[in-house]
């Protein structure tokens, strides 16, 4: 069963904000409840509208996304927030996650990834942008952010661990198959099962889960 997801967005760049709002307004399962151009406006908007998911820029005038996130979650610990970031803001992304954001997107994310992020965070999952760099993945692992505390321990077979390692090294299914003498389709089947076990949606999620849970060493991540 599909649900309408009520969204508000906050960004001080009007052109970006309007473009995102236009895209979201065209989606069948999205209700766009409003826009804000800074953290103070966002808090007021959320108080008035009580949205399901918030998309917010990190750097904003008057009050940034990090401070707004802390205040919003103080008022409502269940509030679901996705950070919007530029590619060179790794430290700020980590701060947003530690403040309580449930996911992040780089501002060059396409429509499909934005919608996937919204849907995943809406149902209570964490979402990592697929363009996450190895540097950012390692920073997230070393941070206080840990969405895996409440999840049951997951076990992986030796073959799955091999595929996890090669996935973290950015090898394609074809390349992994050649190394392990498996067909591409077989590797893709393993990968699908691994993603389901980890409850992640892309390679970035695999890397962060694997590092957080000691499945690979930092030196193995490329």
Domain boundaries, the chain: 5-131, 158-220
pTM: 0.89
pLDDT of residue 87: 75
pLDDT band for position 2 (cuts 50, 70, 90): low
> Which one, of 65, 38, 33, 35, lies nearest residue 49 by Cα?
33
* CATH hierarchy code of domain 158-220: 1.10.10.10
pLDDT of residue 44: 96
Mean pLDDT for 56-66 is 94
- CATH homologous superfamily of 5-131 equals Response regulator (3.40.50.2300)
Q: Has residue 16 got a pLDDT over 60? A: yes
Q: What is the pLDDT of residues 107-136, one digit of tens each?
A: 999 999 999 999 999 999 999 999 898 899
pLDDT of residue 150: 63
Query: Given 3-state DSSP classes, what are the helix, strand and coil percentages for the chain, each rounded to the nearest 5?
Result: 50, 15, 35
Calculate ∠ Cα 213-90-25, nearest 5°: 100
Q: Has residue 1 got a pLDDT over 50? A: no
């Amino acid at each position: 069963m599909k649900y309408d997801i009520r969204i508000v967005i906050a960004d001080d760049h009007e052109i970006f904000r309007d473009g995102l709002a236009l895209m979201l307004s065209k989606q069948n399962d999205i209700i766009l409840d409003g826009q804000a151009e800074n953290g103070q406006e966002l808090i007021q908007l959320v108080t008035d509208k009580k949205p399901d998911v918030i998309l917010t820029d990190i750097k904003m005038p008057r009050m940034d996304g990090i401070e707004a996130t802390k205040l919003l979650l103080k008022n409502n610990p269940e509030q679901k927030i996705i950070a919007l970031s530029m590619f060179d803001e790794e430290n700020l992304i980590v701060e947003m996650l530690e403040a309580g954001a449930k996911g992040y997107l780089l501002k060059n994310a396409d429509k499909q990834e934005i919608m996937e992020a919204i849907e995943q965070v809406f149902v209570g999952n964490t979402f990592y942008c697929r363009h996450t760099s190895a540097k950012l993945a390692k920073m997230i692992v070393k941070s206080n952010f840990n969405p895996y505390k409440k999840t049951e321990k997951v076990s992986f077979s030796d073959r799955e661990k091999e595929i996890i390692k090669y996935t973290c090294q950015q090898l394609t299914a074809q390349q992994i198959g050649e190394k392990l003498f498996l067909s591409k389709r077989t590797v893709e089947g393993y990968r699908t099962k691994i993603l389901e076990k980890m409850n992640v949606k892309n390679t970035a999620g695999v890397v962060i889960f694997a590092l957080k849970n000691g499945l690979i060493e930092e030196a193995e991540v490329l």
